[in-house]
Every structure is written in C-alpha cells, then in structure tokens.
C-alpha cells in the first residue's frame, strides 16, 4: 500500500510540476499571432466590409479637411456688388472725357465678372440662390472618396490644392484594391444568400412509401430527359407510383445509367441561378434607384433611370449629380441625397457584380451541359 501511495504521490508531483512549468510565448511570437489574427479578420467578409466603409470615411475627413481650408463660401451678391463698385470707381476716375481708357478698364472688369460667374456655375450655382455652399463637407467628401475608388468619377467636385491632388493619387492607389476586394467578398456573400433562397424555393418534397419524406432536387440534367425518354424502371420493378421524370430521375452522362434522385440536398455552391433571375434583380435595382432619386432629387423618371445606369456601369458623365439642387431647405435634402447615393452605389455595385458572376456561371454550365449531351448521344449511337 505504501508503494502504491508512493506511486500516486510521485504521479501527483509530476503533474504539479508539469502545470508549474507551462510554456509562455515570447513577446515577438505574441505580436506575430496578433498580426495573423488581425489580417485574417480584415480579409474576412465582415472585415472587408468594415475596411471599405472605414477607408471611405477616412477619405471623407481627409479631403474635407484639406480642401475646405482653401474653399470659401462665395456669394454671387457680393461678387455683383464688388463689380458694380469697381465700375463706378472707373467712371469717376476717367469720366466720359477719356473714353478709350474707360472702355478698356470697364471691359476688363466685366470680363473678370463673366469668368467668375462661369466658375460659380461650374461649381454648382444654378442662379436661383445667390450663395454657393461649401462642397467639401463630410458628406461631399464621402461621395468624392467613393467615386474615386470606384472609378465612377462624376467630376462635379475635384481637389484644387496641390496637396489634395497628391493625396487623391495616393488614396486611389490603395483604395482601388480595397474596393475590388470588397466587390469580390460582397458578391460572394450575396451569391451564396441568393443560391440558398433559390434552393429553398426549388426543392420539391413528396411522400415515399419507404421514407417519410423524400427530398428531390431539380437537376440541370433534366433537359436531357425529354430526348432520352422517361424512366419506368423504378415504377415497374419496385411498384412505386410514377412521378414526373424531371423531378425524380437522374441520368448519368458518363455511364448512361438511370437512378432515382432520392438524395439529400446538394451543396449550395452547385446551385445554378437562371439568367432570367439575374436580369430581374438588375432591373429591380435600376427601378429602385429610379424611385429613390425621383423622390430626393426631383428628377423625372428617365433622368433618374439614366443616372442609375450611368453610375452602376461606372461611366459617370457627371451631367447629373445628387445634392446639387439649391432649395430653401436644401441642406437637409442634400445631405440625405449624398447618403442615399453613397449607399446605393456601394450596395448596387456589389449586387451588379453578383449578377454578372451568376450569369457567367449559368452560361458556362449551359455550354458544358450541351457538350456533355452531344457526347452522350454520340456514344449511344455508336453503341
């Protein structure tokens, strides 16, 4: 018994020593693990979305800080009053006796006034309100940053300082990879979600004598069954009731054999979305944007649809830009226009990318199915 206690005591002491001398990671290894975890989170779906929003927000504060220092709130009334005062001083100085000099000075002042008015119109002044508001607000900077990295580039707002131009180049160099990464991740998330919803809608369940519930998957190979003929093997040999061949039977292209499709639901990644579904989503996206900008910008339906199409295709002429209307209470509407336009572009571009990818997958799948069908029927004819 003493020996047993000794063994037990030695074992206990050995375990206590093992717990006492546990491994402690050095500081450098802890830093490496932290960096690996941070990079893995950044390149995850949630991290990429946060990185996109954070990078665009950083650009909004950056450019609004840089450009607002050189951007003054200019009023057309002040410009008009200053021009009239200069014309009066010229008239008093030269009077009507020195007509050549008076004409030359007045022509110069009027020409400067015309150039200033043209610049005001180019900055967004529509002639109704005499005040040109500051464009480089946080909302305007956010829309500018977003249009830069998405390569839309409306052109309604651009940096005037040398430092702002240099920062635009640097910001775009690092921003475009972030946007492409965001497009890829968001397109993948939206595609998986759409495939999951479509798979739920396209699964047909019917009772089976052997099982309580049999899940039947509508295969893409169903297009081959009309030419190959219906399968009656299972219904005659096993005494099961007949069901439509496109629901229950599967044909193997490689072996030419028939099998009943009583199987579990396949992987979501194998689901193919029809091209018509992608087209409907694209039309719904454009129609929703049309209604949105009709409400917040007051544009007609054709102009709103035109703006959505030009923006989502990243053409970005800049002839129509949200937030440029100058109403009496236009500040709040302008901010809402910037916000909704930014959200529409971020979500719409990802959704459009998803639709194009799904359409590409469906086209490749159809071509592959046609080639397999031709190969199968050629093999049947040779046999």
CATH of the domain at 284: 1.10.287.70
The answer on 296 and 237 residing in a single domain is no
Q: What does the alpha-carbon distance between residue 23 and residue 178 come to, in Å, rounded to a whole number? A: 39
| Helix axis angle, 330-382 to 162-202, nearest 10° | 50
pLDDT at 27 over 70: yes
The answer on 346 and 300 residing in a single domain is yes
User: Domains in the chain: how many in total?
Assistant: 3
The answer on 307 and 242 residing in a single domain is no
Contact 289, 340 (CB under 8 A): no
The answer on 341 and 247 residing in a single domain is no
pLDDT at 237 over 60: no
Contact 177, 148 (CB under 8 A): no
Closest CA to 45 of 144, 191, 195, 199: 191
At 330-348, the pLDDT tens digits run 556 667 778 889 999 999 9
Q: What does the alpha-carbon distance between residue 207 and residue 204 come to, in Å, rounded to a whole number? A: 10
230: left (phi over 0), alpha (psi -120 to 50) or beta: beta
The answer on 376 and 284 residing in a single domain is yes
Closest CA to 191 of 49, 313, 357: 357
The answer on 369 and 309 residing in a single domain is yes
At 287-311, the pLDDT tens digits run 999 999 998 888 999 999 999 999 9
Across residues 2-17, what is the average pLDDT? 48
* Segment 199-204 long-range contacts (CB within 8 Å, at least 24 positions apart): 199/265, 199/268, 199/271, 203/265, 204/247
> Which residue segment(s) compose the domain that 290 sits in?
275-382
The answer on 365 and 311 residing in a single domain is yes
| Residue 96: per-residue pLDDT | 62
Going from the C-alpha of 193 to that of each of 182, 187, 199, 349, 358, the distances in angstroms are 16, 10, 10, 17, 12
Show Cβ contacts of residue 26 under 8 Å, excluding neighbours closer than 6 positions: none
> pLDDT tier at 234 (50, 70, 90 boundaries)?
very low
For the chain, the C-alpha Rg in angstroms (whole number) is 35
Continuous H helices in the chain = 2-20, 27-42, 45-68, 76-94, 99-122, 138-149, 162-202, 225-228, 233-237, 245-248, 275-297, 301-312, 330-382
Q: What does the alpha-carbon distance between residue 10 and residue 13 come to, in Å, rounded to a whole number? A: 5
Q: What does the alpha-carbon distance between residue 194 and residue 273 come to, in Å, rounded to a whole number? A: 8
Lowest mean pLDDT among 25-29, 277-281, 302-306: 25-29
Across residues 236-242, what is the average pLDDT? 41
Choose one of 122, 157, 181: the last residue of a domain: 122
The answer on 319 and 246 residing in a single domain is no
Bridge pairing between strands 204-206 and 214-216 = antiparallel
Show Cβ contacts of residue 329 under 8 Å, excluding neighbours closer than 6 positions: none
In a domain, 128, yes or no: no
Contact 185, 49 (CB under 8 A): yes
């Amino acid at each position: 018994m003493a020996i047993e206690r000794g063994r037990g005591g030695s074992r206990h002491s050995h375990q206590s020593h093992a717990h006492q001398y546990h491994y402690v990671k050095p500081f450098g290894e802890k830093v490496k693990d932290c960096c690996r975890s941070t990079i893995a989170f950044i390149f995850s779906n949630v991290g990429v979305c946060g990185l996109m929003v954070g990078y665009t927000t950083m650009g909004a504060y950056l450019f609004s800080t840089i450009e607002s220092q050189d951007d003054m709130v200019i009023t057309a009334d002040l410009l008009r009053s200053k021009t009239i005062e200069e014309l009066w001083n010229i008239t008093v100085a030269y009077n009507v006796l020195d007509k050549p000099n008076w004409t030359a000075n007045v022509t110069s002042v009027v020409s400067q006034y015309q150039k200033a008015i043209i610049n005001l119109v180019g900055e967004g002044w529509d002639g109704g309100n005499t005040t040109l508001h500051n464009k480089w607000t946080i909302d305007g900077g956010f829309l500018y940053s977003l249009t830069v990295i998405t390569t839309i580039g409306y052109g309604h707002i651009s940096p005037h300082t040398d430092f702002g131009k240099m920062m635009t180049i640097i910001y775009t160099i690092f921003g475009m990879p972030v946007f492409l990464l965001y497009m890829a991740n968001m397109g993948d998330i939206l595609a998986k979600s759409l495939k999951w919803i479509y798979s739920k809608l396209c699964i047909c369940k019917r009772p089976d004598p052997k099982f309580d519930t049999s899940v039947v998957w509508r295969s893409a190979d169903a297009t081959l069954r009309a030419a190959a003929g219906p399968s009656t093997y299972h219904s005659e040999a096993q005494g099961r009731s007949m069901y439509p061949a496109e629901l229950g039977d599967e044909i193997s292209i490689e072996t030419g054999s028939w099998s009943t499709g009583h199987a579990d639901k396949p992987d979501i990644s194998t689901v193919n979305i029809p091209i018509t579904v992608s087209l409907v989503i694209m039309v719904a996206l454009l129609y929703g944007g049309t209604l949105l900008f009709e409400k917040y910008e007051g544009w007609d339906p054709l102009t709103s649809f035109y703006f959505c199409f030009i923006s989502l295709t990243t053409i970005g002429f800049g002839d129509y830009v949200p937030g440029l209307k100058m109403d009496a209470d236009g500040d709040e509407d302008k901010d809402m226009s910037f916000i909704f336009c930014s959200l529409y572009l971020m979500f719409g571009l990802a959704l459009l990318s998803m639709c194009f990818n799904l359409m590409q997958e469906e086209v490749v799948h159809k071509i592959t199915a046609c080639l397999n069908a031709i190969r199968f029927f050629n093999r049947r004819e040779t046999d």
